[in-house]
Structure 1
């Protein structure tokens, strides 16, 4: 799972960098929230989780890690889409996308916490 998390993280990095460059070139920064979430919850968070699961393969090889991976990678795109919608003034679609996406990401992070405390013990 560690490698999977890292592979997806670099895809988010590429998307975040391209979005940032596009916003800078156009001098339109209405998507900064989406840009920040792509880079932080996508690149940084998933990359770090990938490193944790590589260093502690007993945590990375669990069902929790797999479920966490899918919840995060379904939730984050929904959350980012909501930010694009909000930036365009479309709260009607933005709110449900934000609610579902945000909830999935939060559950994913909770699964990470459970997995770490269950499978990573001090002194190993």
Structure 2
């Protein structure tokens, strides 16, 4: 099987990282301007799990094309990109007083955790190949 050196999967991660970076920064600007810092956990997670983690995924998928070509990458992609927005919405709702969203945050966290485990497995199987 031929593996393309310019892996489009890595590019998708990098583009999504840029979107999360913009959203995270603008949420920070909103919080600073309004004086309402109740969404600080959402801001922090958008920047860490969205911007930083996704950018690192993208860089690694571009550096190690076998990782992006792995079936693990596709599963990780969908789990991560379903879990993260759901988690951010649930955390925002919880910090606005909607405690009923705690189970949603729990499930979304588990989905995100599984995606991270798949990424780690992919690293051990395919990084450096």
Sort the TM-score into its range (normalised by shorter chain). Answer: over 0.9
Query: Which residue of structure 2 lines up, in the alignment, with residue 54 of structure 1?
Result: 62
- Check if 1:120 corresponds to 2:127: yes
Task: State the 1:100 CA deviation.
Answer: 1.6
In structure 1, stretches of 5+ residues that fail to align are none
Structure 1 residue ranges (4+ consecutive) displaced by more than 3 angstroms after TM superposition: none
Q: 2:4: which partner in 1? A: none
Deviations 1:8-55 (A, max 9, x none): 100000100110101110011000000000000000000001000000
Give the CA deviation at 1:72: 0.6
CA RMSD in angstroms, aligned pairs only: 1.0
Counting only pairs closer than 5 Å after superposition, residues 1-124 of structure 1 correspond to structure 2 as 1-92=9-100, 94-121=101-128
Q: d(CA) in 2 for partners of 1:97 and 1:13?
A: 24
SS at match of 2:109: helix
Q: TM-score, normalised by structure 1?
A: 0.94
Question: What TM-score, normalized to structure 2?
Answer: 0.90
